[in-house]
Structure 1
Amino acid sequence: MFHTVNSKFYAIAGVLVFLFVLEYGILAVFLRVQNHHTMQVEEAVVFERDIRTLHDLFYEMRFWEKSVLLRRQPNADKKFGIIIEQFRKRILKISNMQPQASINEKINLILQSLARYEEAFNQNVQYKTDQRLNRTRIDTAYQSLTSNVLRSNQTSLLKPLFNLTHFLTTYRIDTRKSEYQALLLVVDYIESKLLQARLIDPRMQGYIYNFKGLLVKDFELEEKMNSIDQGFDVITVHLMDLMENISREAQDILKLKLLETGKSREKLNKIFLVSSTLSIAVFLFILLIIAREIIYPIRSMANVMKEVENKNILSRFEYHGNKKDEIVQLGLAFNEMLDTIQTNNEALLSYQNALEKKVFQLAASEKELKGHREHLERIVQHRTSDLTVANTLLTKSLKEKDSLLKEIHHRVKNNLQIISSLLKFQANQTRDEQSAALFKDSQDRITSMALIHQQLYESKDLSSIDFGLYIKNLLNCLMRSYKQKSRTIRAEIDIDNITLGIDVAIPCGLIVNELVTNALKYAFPADEGGLIFITAQWADKDSIELLIGDNGIGMPENFDIRTAETFGLQLITGLVEHQLTGKIEFTRNIGTQIRIIFKNFSGKARI
């Protein structure tokens, strides 16, 4: 069934995966149960700690209760309120933890008892306050009564007053019924003595009645406080019993959870130990199968390979097992390969002898070829030397050509400058303004061409110029030339990164010169301010769009640039259509705009 290596591999891998999943499942169950029990123990520990904290808070509450009732500390009532509020919050927290039904029932009883306890305590505090106020009034009434009796100067009343003071002090200390009754008898006796001496009047009668009424009220308050104290003690004892019961029950729950956790851990440890032992046994059995079915045949083949490596070609693979096994078949195929190698080796030996003879023949031929190769290398070396000399002469010639071109451009620029200076001199000599204007126009046209030659010999590239830099220099020259009118005129230039050859740059320069000159002369009459703008951008990858315009007075409605009779406009039309082979458009919007579209030949001259 498992004859191939793949089938054996998948069977072993399946068993290992099964063992891994089994162990992982057991471990997951173990950890889950352990985590569940741990959480239960933690909850039980937290619950027991909260109960113990509640127990401590109860005794602290009892301490501050006594302090409030006995007035031992000034802030005892505030501290008692804080403690009882903490006690109530702790009880509610424990109730929200969803404890057992018996504990939950006791918690409800504690809450009910706490409400009765707080109510009884508040009543007791109120009665204590009323009693202190009433005793202050008793002291005041006692002082008024005794002072009035002493003012009567009756020595027979001194002993009753002494008895009154004695019994009042004793009553204040013990507050027993006997002292209360004795105190009333003394007050009645004093009243009778005052009647006998005829010293009693309405004011004295009022002091006696007020004192007796305050004594009666004080005793009634004492009786109420005693009654409340008895109920208060019952509530306190009940709370103490509930606290002790719930504390013992919380400890019992904690012990039970710890015991259950220990038993569960012991049971899971046994299961894990059994499953681990079984997995180790199965794993060892799988290793035994791998050793017998895979490792031993492979090791046998490896031994044969080592023998063959040591030139023992007669060594063969020995098998024990099923011939259908894939590894055994590989060993048998290896034996057949060795048989084939042995047969081929014998054939190769005979072929080697014949080959050695041919090698001797080839060695002789190679020696002859070596001589021919050395001869060819000498010829190539001689030709290389000749090419190096020719290359040096060519480089020198190119440098001389560049220097000559720069010198030509420089001399052309100088000649054009001389012509411009002659025209300027002639314009200054003539008295006819029209002729002087014609001389000046010619001078500006020559200056535009001279700038091109100047920019060419000043740059590294002798075949093209930077169009933007050229227009900027040309515009500066024209503005200086017409400085009287250009003081109020502003110029704006926006030109893309464009380079032009000399045959394109000269007509473009003449066109810009003519249009800017016309704008400076005619677009802004009476020294009005204005704007002259020049833009140039790529219309497409080969064409350039040149726009020259102003915001001056504009051209007449019937104006047509192609039928204009002035030399400058005829020159513009001829340069655009014949020299640049482009198109020209005239627009009247705000001022005048001339749009020219022409092909750029990347600085190469057209033939």
Structure 2
Amino acid sequence: MGIIIFSLILSFFIISELFFINTAVDTENQYANMVLKNTVNSLNNDLDALNNTANDWSQYDAAYNFVKTNNSNFKQRSLLDDTFSRLNINFIIFVNNSGDVVFSKAVDLNSKKEIPMYSNLNNVTKDYIIFLQEKNTTESSGFIFINGRPIMLVTKPVLRSGGEGPSPGYMIMGRYLDTYSSNSLPQNSKLSITPVNSSKDLEVFNNSNLNQSPLVIKTTSSDLLTGYSLLRSSSGRPSLILKVEMPRNIYQSSKKTILLLALSLIISGIVAAFLIYHYLDRNLLRRLDKITSSVVQIGKSNDLSSRVPVLGDDELANLAISVNEMLKSLEKSNIELKKSREGYKTIFENTGTAMLLVDKNMDILLANTYFKDIFALNDDTQHKYNFKELMTQIDHSKLEDYRIGLENNQDEFKNYEFQLINKKNEGRNFFATFAFIKGTQESLISLIDITDHKKADDKIKESLKEKEILLREIHHRVKNNLQIISVLLSLQSEEIEDPKILEKYKESENRIHSMALIHERMYQSQDLSSIDFTDYVKNLIADITYAYGFDSQMLEIKMDLDKSNLSIETVMPLGLIINELVSNSLKYAFKDVENNKISIIFKKEHNNKFKLEIMDNGIGFPEDIDFKNTRSLGLQLVNELVSQIDGTIKLETNKGSHFTIHFQEPDYKKRI
């Protein structure tokens, strides 16, 4: 309560400082500006009055004759000491047109006694008259600084009473301003007038317009304000700086008021705090203390069946009732939690896998019986074990991924394979599933012993490797046998002179070679289930053209083949088809044809379908022969092989022969 009251008082004090003091400062500045302005106006009004007085005295027959003839009667009758006090002037000077002083007199207005004039008065007046004549003027008024004294000065030509001339000279009237005082100044204020000697003296006015009468107010200290303004000479230029120092009565009064108000608030706050505390202690705090003590006691005893006392019929009583309701709910939840705990414990113990709970450092917090039995842990020592101690050193690096997942609060499962050392000091392989517990640095780990499974898997892999080696050896031997058959056919053909029979031998040799090439590719392939069809076709075409004696000068082979791996069941018939159709083109298509060209296009279409195109620019296929119903062994073989791969074949004879085969690779049983 005391802190609240103190905070309110402090806030009020700060607001007062920011608002009331600022308002007082603004008001003070306005008042100071008004005082300075009134002082300047008072000086200007005095200058106007002096102008009027000088005008009356300068147009006066007696003064005119005095300057012209130096009549002593005017001096004895009119220029007495009392005249100076009555006119509120300090001095009168009459000079002729040459600037020579005809008469001069100065009087101290306070003592009303004559005082001496300047010793160099004659030189000053001569210079001043010359200045007026150069400016082509006969009169002037303004504020000047002569011989260390600020002066209000008016100069008029001496004329007759009717204002007629010619003027025999000038009359100069002035008042000293070093003792000037104004009724507009507040008490304890100080006025001073200093000359403008250089532009540095005007820096106090900053960016004020010096062509007008600037008014500048500055805060000198916490107790003093200073106002500045300019007084101008007869030429209109700034000649004197008016400085008024005023006490900060408004500011000091505001501060005292705020302090008194703050003090009264503090006293009122203390009294209010005491009364409020007494009321709260009697009606609230004691009862609240009983409720608090009861809650603390229930917390220490952990007895959720206990209840807090309900006293009265107000908000505190409602609070006690709410606390009792909460305790009742907690008691019920605690019972359900115990049941849930027992259920989870049953699941934890009977999952059929080794289960454990670890923290972020892999320290084992909890383990089920199955885990303890495998690794010989007991209830007294399980918390002293670290999961990494059960792992082989080589598997420690796998826990880095687990650490990253834990730091990123991942909620998905992480699976790893570890080799752990069991109680028999045997290395056993385990499949581990890590489940991050959300909102904690703990994880639940489930372990399944997969040692026997891995051994069986290794045996299967070893068996597959042996079968793969055996299959490669079979392909190699089949390829060798086919090559032997091809060589035998080649040797046998050397004894045959009939060209037709010799051609049949050559065709059979090419067919056997196309099949042998497949087995060679299978033997060399990393994957025994498929062959790189693109590479196979390129090698097959090169062998066929070589067998028929064509080179790159005699024949242009153009191939556009999509990269694709096909099974041996598909490549075998496709290779024989390509062999037959390309061989037919080489044998029959290019008789009396220039620029021989064969194109082979192989494209993969959607849904695992393919298109094979074989075309030449030869003489074309004979129109009287149906390629699907012919006695030619090669074409019969082509049609049979297309059917074997569930394909279709079409022939176009425009500008040569163009065979198009569409097929879909059948689903063959995967080899083991």
Q: Give the TM-score normalised by the residue count of structure 1.
A: 0.44
- Which structure carries more relative contact order (alpha carbon 8 Å, separation 6+)? 1
Report which of the two has the higher share of strand: 2
Report which of the two has the higher share of helix: 1
